[in-house]
Amino acid sequence: MRTQVGIVGAGPAGLILAQLLHLAGIESVILENRSREYVEHRVRAGLLEQGTVDLLTEIGAGERLKEEALEHHGIYLQFDGRREYIAATEITGRSIHIYGQQEIVKDLIAQRLGYDGPLLFEVDDVAVHDFDKHGEPRITYTHEGRQQRLECDVIAGCDGFHGVCRPAIPKGVLTTYQREYPFAWLGILAEVAPSTDELIYAHHPNGFALHSMRSSTVSRLYLQVKPDEQIEYWSDKRIWAELQTRFALAGWTLQEGPVIEKGITPMRSFVTEPMQSGRLYLAGDAAHIVPPTGAKGLNLAAQDVRVLAEALVAWYSTGDTAQLDGYSDRALRRVWRVQDFSHYMTTLLHRLGDDPFDDRLQRARLEYVTSSDAAAKSLAENYVGLPEY
Ligand code: FAD
Ligand code: PHB
């Protein structure tokens, strides 16, 4: 088989890239190692920046989103028994939307299959070859028991943090920057109406907690836990008791309901530089990870592929490689802005350890960001997304 762009991974990055290319008349094939059922039900991100909503709308994947997404205009920061509001829309003129990542994935898959765009699920043994500048890029894989080979002009590695594309880049090309945090997130989906109109980020001596949502009937909640925590030790009863403790506020009640999904996610910051090698381009989680406190991973993945698609369109239409050569530099500017913000939100809100000095600093920062217009503006413009990046 031959195509123009071989895309590894049918997460948000791979699917959005394929659609952007399709609209520009560029062919691609997407190879995904999981089943359609699995990727359509993997519970992950929920918060979209205005720029992501606009991009999905532009590529024709915004119809259901427009009907079902919840529009939010700010966030609550809770600490010291107080709950303060950061009025992000009032400050920035932009809003954020709640719409589950798996719903975006469902919409994009339906769109792709709707025009018979090549998208293969359950492919095994994916490997990328010969992608140096003068090579002839190829992807080999097994599908329905048969070994296959896909020849292409370029390869897009959209296969997430644990994918095969980044490790295929020759030693010495990439430099990685990373930070591990001494905690993880335990997340639940619960069949209960959200107890809040907008998200609550809570700083508590027991650790961070977040109240998010998916719809008017489904809540999404997270608890900071130990990095090696075992989900088996967290009964639904224990999870709700801990959430009640961390969100406790006079005159407010956290409603409980049946837990329909739960899991633990490690927290890390990670960047690889550059995000390209020869004719292999990395996008999304394949190139970087941010801790979820800033709600940025999916939004960043969407912006990476927007930049990559623009560069590919320029190359196919003019033969000039300048934009493709500059892909990584352009994408990394935003990546590092978002890394900084995600690290800021993470260290602002989590219990970092047992040092009371850290705790006092955090409280001083929370006090400042909820009382100074300048500090609130900085948080708000980063949270809703900086369009000029
Ligand atoms: P992925 O979604 O990981 O997609 C990669 C795809 O490649 C997958 O489908 C995978 O199965 C496939 N794949 C992997 N290896 C191979 C292979 N060898 N061959 C073929 N296919 C392969 N982000 C936000 O913006 N807002 C949020 O509110 C937010 N909350 C989050 C909460 C949690 C609990 C978690 C875990 C993440 C959150 N994120 C959030 C981050 C967001 O989910 C990711 O950044 C996003 O999924 C990145 O998209 P991607 O397409 O780059 O990678
Ligand atoms: C979510 O709804 O899953 C979510 C929202 C905000 C975050 C992280 C996750 O910061």
Q: pLDDT per residue over 316-362, tens digit each?
A: 999 999 999 999 999 999 999 999 999 999 999 999 999 999 999 99
Return mean pLDDT, the chain: 97
Sheet containing strand 5-8, edge to edge, reads 119-120, 28-31, 5-8, 154-157, 280-282, 276-277
Task: Pick from 43, 44, 47, 219 the residue to mutate for probing ligand 2's pocket: most ligand atoms within 8 Å of its CB.
Answer: 47
- The percent of residues in the chain predicted with pLDDT above 90, rounded, is 98
pLDDT exceeding 70 applies to what percent of the chain? Answer: 100
Atom of ligand 2 nearest to the CA of 345: 10
For residue 108 and ligand 1, the question of a CB distance below 6 A is answered with: no
Q: Ligand 1: distance of its center to the CA of 100 in Å?
A: 12
The tokens for 356 are: 């009371």
pLDDT per residue as tens digits for the range 56-77: 999 999 999 999 999 999 999 9
* pLDDT range class, residue 377, cuts 50, 70, 90: very high
| Phi, psi for 38 (deg, rounded to 5) | -65, -50
Around ligand 2, the residues with Cβ closer than 6 Å are: 45-47, 199, 210, 212, 220, 292-293, 295
327's tokens = 């892909």
What confidence tens digit (pLDDT) does each residue in 201-246 have? 999 999 999 999 999 999 999 999 999 999 999 999 999 999 999 9
Encoded tokens for 272: 């690889």
Rounded Cα distance between 301 and 297, Å, is: 6
- Is residue 389 scored above 90 in pLDDT? no
pLDDT digits (tens, 9 = 90+) for 238-249: 999 999 999 999
Closest by Cα among 322, 363, 310, 369 to 26? 310
- Nearest CA, atom 46, ligand 1: 298
Those residues whose C-beta lies under 8 Å from the C-beta of residue 197, and which sit 6 or more positions away, are none
Partners of 268 in beta bridges: 180
Tell me the residue ranges of DSSP E strands in 87-130. 96-98, 119-120, 124-129
Residue of 222, 267, 338 to mutate, ligand 2, most atoms within 8 A of C-beta:
222
pLDDT in tens, 294-316: 999 999 999 999 999 999 999 99
Best of 86, 98, 199, 261 to mutate for ligand 2, by most ligand atoms within 8 A of CB? 199
**Do 271 and 291 form a contact (C-beta atoms < 8 A)?**
no
Q: Mind listing the pLDDT tens digit for each residue in 355-373?
A: 999 999 999 999 999 999 9
- Minimum-distance ligand to the CA of 185? 1
- How many A from CA of 160 to the centre of ligand 1? 6
pTM: 0.97
- The pLDDT of residue 63 is 97
